[in-house]
Amino acid sequence: MYHRHEGMNRDMLDGCNAWEHQWPMSRMRNEMDSNASYRIALGDLPWEPAAPHASAKIVPLGSHRLRLLELRRGFVEDDWCGKGHTGYVLEGSLRVDFETGGLTLAAGDGLHIPAGPPHRHKALPLTERARLVLFEDT
Could you give all domains of the chain from N- to C-terminal order, each with its CATH number? 2-38 (no CATH), 42-137 (2.60.120.10)
- First-to-last C-alpha distance (Å) of the chain: 45
Q: What is the pLDDT of residue 24?
A: 53
Q: What is the pLDDT of residue 61?
A: 94
User: Which is higher by pLDDT, 89 or 31?
Assistant: 89
- pTM as predicted: 0.75
Q: Could you count the other beta carbons within 10 Å of the beta carbon of residue 91?
A: 14
